[in-house]
Amino acid sequence: MIPAAFEYYRPKDLSGVISILEEHGDDARVIAGGHSLIPMMKLRMADVPHLIDLQDIPGMSEITVTADAITIGAMTTQHDIIDHDGLAAAAPILREAALQIADPQVRYMGTVGGNVANGDPGNDMPGLMQCLNATFTLVGPDGERTVPAREFYEAAYMTAREDEEILTAVTIPTPKGGYAYEKQKRKIGDYATAAAAVQIIKDGDTCTAASIAMTNLSDTPIWSEDAAAALVGTSVDSAALKAAVDAMLVDIDPSEDNRGPVAFKRHVAGVILTRAIERAWSRA
């Protein structure tokens, strides 16, 4: 399949990107790795008269790890995350999740920025970033601003990013405690039927803090505050697990598609979250 005709741009700096976006408005789109946009263009599901490639923008593929925070440039690929020893030590959940995205060919080109900015409810990174309380840096004609990941997603493919803005970086407070990213999918390379990102902190045998986010079970990723609260103050026993799953099931709103009916997705979501909590607890 062949996309409709388009003008191709490869600017050398962010100001060049923003000027093109200002000139062409809704008719212009930026491209990072291209694994979301190009298939839609080929299927004629997206008409993009002006395509702006970000590959030549300097400084957007850097990873910075400190004791307090991690900053990941938007053009960082999933392979870069997997291959970065400092990142794997500071936030191993990122590597665990990246290894479950698509296949090696996709991970060599697919970027963090593209994954979180597209607003696709099936993408893995948006829910993970909500679990980790990340913030997204956006740059536009009016300068730079940050938006929490938990406030960024409004509906399927709709986000808080303005048309003339570019997502340039993701910043994450350096996570503590146990972690897990669990994902059920039909086959290698597929989107999740259900996925869960969990971070847990414990003191002795008691959970003192938790964060839970679910993927591909609503029009947006779901950060389930009530599910996490159900674990706090418990020893994460069977009753706490059930309470967390029950709270999560209230928050999600799956729809029937080729991955299964609603009842099946809700069942899988419960199984996946239980596994993720148990694994995170064992690592805490």
- From residue 64, how far is each of 60, 69, 186, 188 by CA, in Å? 11, 8, 35, 30
- Nearest Cα to Cα of residue 12 among 59, 48, 51, 50: 59
Closest CA to 94 of 122, 73, 124: 124
Q: 79 is written with which tokens?
A: 């392979």
pLDDT tens by residue, the chain, 284 residues: 788 999 999 999 999 999 999 999 889 999 998 878 888 889 888 889 999 999 999 999 999 999 999 999 999 999 999 999 999 999 999 999 999 999 999 999 999 999 999 999 999 999 999 999 999 999 999 999 999 999 999 999 999 999 999 999 999 999 999 999 999 999 988 999 999 999 999 999 999 999 999 999 999 999 999 999 999 999 999 999 999 999 999 999 999 999 999 999 999 999 999 999 999 999 99
Rounded to a whole number, what is the distance in angstroms from the first to the last CA of the chain?
Answer: 48
Ordered DSSP codes for 27-65:
GEEEESS-TTHHHHHHTTS---SEEEE-TT-TTSS-EEE
Phi/psi of residue 178, nearest 5 degrees: -85, 160
Q: Which two tokens stand for residue 205?
A: 């045998």
Q: What is the pLDDT of residue 240?
A: 98
pLDDT score of 27: 93
The predicted model scores a pTM of 0.95
C-alpha atoms less than 13 angstroms from C-alpha of 15 in its C-beta half-sphere = 0
Measured CA to CA, the distance from residue 215 to residue 128 in angstroms comes to 8
